[in-house]
Amino acid sequence: MRRIAAGTFKARCLKIMDEVQARRQPVVITKRGKPVVKLVPAGKDRTEIYNSLRGKVRIIGDILSPAIDDWGSLK
């Protein structure tokens, strides 16, 4: 995996981003020799949280009213 210093990344950011997209290979950005960030190509990620349960959950009954009528009894 390719490693790039943060200063180099700052100077050539757009070019490096284009290379990551074209080659589909991630780049690790380092600060003082230690890895800080990994730049990975964007793609359709199946782990997205939004709409991840669409079609997998079924609502049964009333979801708006409270489950317990008398909250005072829980004390």
pTM for the complete prediction? 0.57
Per-domain residue ranges of the chain: 2-61
Amino acid letter at 43?
G
Kindly report, residue by residue over 13-41, the tens digit of the pLDDT. Answer: 999 999 999 999 999 999 999 999 999 99
Query: Is CATH 3.30.750.210 correct for 2-61?
Result: no
Residue 27: closest CA among 1, 47, 45, 57: 1
Section 48-68 average pLDDT: 77
Section 36-54 average pLDDT: 79
